[in-house]
């Protein structure tokens, strides 16, 4: 709250116990070995990729779960309704980049009603995705 630029959607670091519960949940949901789930986080994204963000350390917070799920199911399309600064957009797009390196191509589509939203989602990610502006339901009807 006091040390981060992400002061509305938060970038807290889950404690070991929280992570343990998350991994166990995902293990049950996807019938994947616990250690394999942890492996998906070994190559977490580089803080340097958050070029427009002044925090020195980026904590994924709940987005850790999103990232792991994207790595497990290797989706062809991810839709995130409401991107705000674009932290989820970057994390999900990084998961898609890693999936593509393993031969599974996917696209990212983000929406937000705020025309200022998504500024973290820069050129590095636009190759395989985009953010569309306006009401999510209206935008998704058109795309
Ligand atoms: C909780 S924030 C999203 C946080 C983001 N997913 C992240 O990982 O940091 C919710 C966002 O939804 C957007 N929003 C609210 N109502 C909307 C609507 N009807 N259509 C599209 N976006 C909307 C807001 O502008 C805001 O940026």
Instruction: Say how many C-beta atoms besides its own lie within 10 A of residue 58's C-beta.
Output: 23
Note the pLDDT tens digit of each residue in 2-44: 777 777 777 777 889 999 999 999 999 999 999 989 888 776 6
Block residue for tokens 């999103």: 66
Instruction: Evaluate: CB of 39 within 6 angstroms of ligand 1.
Output: no
Residue with CA closest to ligand 1 atom 5: 83
Question: Given the DSSP bridges, would you call strands 107-112 and 129-133 parallel, antiparallel or unpaired?
Answer: parallel
* The pLDDT value given to residue 46: 56
Distance 140 CA to ligand 1 centre (A): 14
State the chain's mean pLDDT as an integer: 87
What average pLDDT does the segment 110-132 reach?
A: 92
What average pLDDT does the segment 84-105 reach?
A: 92
Distance 79 CA to ligand 1 centre (A): 12
Between CA 78 and CA 121 the distance in angstroms is 14
Q: What is the pTM of this model?
A: 0.90
pLDDT band at 47 (very low <50, low <70, confident <90, very high): low
């Amino acid at each position: 709250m006091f040390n981060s630029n992400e002061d509305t959607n938060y970038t807290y670091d889950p404690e070991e116990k929280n992570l343990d519960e998350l991994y166990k949940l995902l293990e049950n949901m996807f019938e994947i070995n616990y250690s394999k789930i942890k492996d998906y986080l070994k190559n977490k994204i580089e803080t340097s990729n958050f070029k427009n963000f002044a925090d020195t350390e980026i904590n994924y917070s709940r987005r850790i779960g999103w990232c792991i799920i994207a790595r497990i199911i290797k989706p062809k399309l991810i839709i995130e309704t409401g991107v705000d600064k674009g932290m989820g957009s970057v994390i999900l797009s990084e998961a898609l980049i890693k999936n593509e390196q393993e031969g599974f191509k996917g696209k990212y589509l983000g929406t937000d009603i705020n025309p200022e939203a998504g500024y973290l989602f820069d050129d590095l990610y636009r190759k395989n995705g985009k953010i569309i502006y306006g009401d999510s339901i209206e935008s998704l009807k058109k795309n």
